[in-house]
């Protein structure tokens, strides 16, 4: 497809389990971003990848959160030992260059029971 | 720290009316500003991107303006339609090396037939 693809679209897990969320950006886009949208709250920046530069991890809320981007394309956001407060929609975006126009995927809705 | 505010939080108008959505930001040293729409349960769809050197951008019935000195942007929607019903968000980018965009909480628009 031409857009940003995210999987799974929905994930229900038990507290304490690890989860992985995947993002496949638009082909050729060098920048990739993860945001989190919690119920009733705005979008919260998590992490930013741009080309081969070191990622900006300043938005990750705790060391249980990590992300990687392999081969400058697909990215995986991993949440270890999930907590109920991690329940949210995790949105991935890409842009053709750093600070360019953002294009978002449909998001992965995470529910931690 | 950049703060982005969107007022009103919700707006209801009859079909055919022209309307204006507001976005204000506290730090005028921005790189660009982007308007999005979000339908329930969906990701964000990019509407317009305004670079800091631009005053406005137009796409179809949408016109976005930017006044950096006053820290304001407006999104003008002409001849509103029920299909325009959605939440509209603005996002501000601080600089070319800043991956993070700061989002407002959005204005939820309802256009009544």
Reported as a single tens digit per residue, the pLDDT across A32-43 is: 999 999 987 789
Residue B103 and residue B107: Cα distance in Å, rounded? 12
* b/e per residue B18-29 (b: at least 16 CB within 10 A): ebebebbbeeee
Nearest-CA neighbor of A14 among A88, A63, A82, A79?
A82
Kindly determine whether residue B105 and residue A42, on different chains, have CB atoms separated by under 8 Å. yes
Long-range contacts made by residues B46-55, C-beta under 8 angstroms, separation at least 24? B46/A101, B46/A102, B46/A103, B46/A104, B47/B75, B47/B88, B48/B75, B49/A101
Contact between chains at A58 and B32 (C-beta distance less than 8 A):
no
Q: Is the dihedral of CA B9, B39, A45, A32 positive or negative?
A: negative
Count Cβ atoms below 10 Å from residue A60 Cβ, excluding itself: 18
Find the residue in A nearest to B34 (Cα). A101
The pLDDT of residue B98 is above 70: no
- Minimal Cβ distance to A42: which of B31, B43, B104: B104
Q: Hey, is the C-beta of A99 within 8 angstroms of any chain B C-beta? A: yes
Local confidence band at B96 (pLDDT 50, 70, 90 cut-offs): low
In this structure, are residues B15 and B81 in contact, taking their beta carbons and an 8 Å threshold?
yes
Q: Which one, of B87, B102, B99, B85, lies nearest residue B36 by Cα?
A: B87
B49 to chain A: which residues are within 8 Å by CB?
101
User: Quick one: what percent of chain B has pLDDT higher than 70?
Assistant: 96
Residue B87: per-residue pLDDT = 97
Is the pLDDT assigned to residue B22 strictly greater than 70?
yes
Please tell me the distance from the alpha carbon of residue B43 to that of residue B53, in angstroms, as a whole number: 28
Q: Tell me the per-residue pLDDT of A57-103, one tens digit each, with 9 for 90 and over.
A: 999 999 999 999 988 799 999 999 999 999 999 999 999 977 789 99
Measured CA to CA, the distance from residue A72 to residue B85 in angstroms comes to 36
| pLDDT level of residue A1 (50, 70, 90 thresholds) | low
Nearest CB to A98; choose among B46, B89, B96: B96
pLDDT of residue B112: 97
The pLDDT, as a whole number, for residue A99 is 74
Give the A:B interface size as CB pairs under 8 Å: 60
A34 in reach of chain B (CB within 8 A): no
Cis omega before residue A5 (within 30°)? no
Confidence of residue B26 (pLDDT cuts 50, 70, 90): very high
Name the least confident of A2-6, A49-53, B62-66: A49-53
**Contacting residues of A for B99, CB less than 8 Å apart:** 31, 33, 45, 47-50, 56, 98-99
What is the rounded CA–CA span in Å between residue B72 and residue B76? 13
Largest Cα separation within chain A, whole Å, is 38
């Amino acid at each position: 497809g031409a857009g940003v693809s995210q999987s799974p679209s929905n994930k229900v897990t038990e507290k304490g389990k690890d989860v992985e969320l995947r993002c496949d950006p638009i082909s050729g886009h060098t920048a990739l971003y993860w945001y989190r949208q919690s119920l009733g709250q705005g979008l919260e920046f998590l992490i930013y990848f741009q080309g081969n530069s070191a990622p900006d991890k300043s938005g990750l809320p705790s060391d249980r959160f990590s992300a990687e981007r392999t081969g400058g394309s697909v990215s995986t956001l991993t949440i270890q030992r999930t907590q109920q407060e991690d329940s949210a929609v995790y949105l991935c975006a890409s842009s053709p260059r750093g600070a360019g126009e953002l294009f978002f995927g449909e998001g992965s809705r995470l529910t931690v029971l | 720290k950049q703060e982005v505010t969107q007022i009103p939080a919700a707006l209801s108008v009859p079909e055919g009316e022209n309307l204006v959505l507001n976005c204000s930001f506290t730090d005028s040293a921005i790189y660009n500003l982007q308007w999005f729409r979000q339908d329930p349960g969906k990701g964000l769809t990019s509407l317009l991107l305004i670079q800091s050197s631009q005053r406005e951008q137009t796409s179809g019935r949408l016109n976005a303006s930017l006044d950096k000195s006053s820290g304001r942007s407006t999104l003008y929607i002409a001849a509103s339609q029920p299909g325009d019903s959605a939440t509209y968000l603005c996002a501000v980018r601080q600089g070319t090396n800043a991956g993070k965009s700061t989002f407002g909480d959005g204005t939820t628009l309802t256009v009544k037939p």
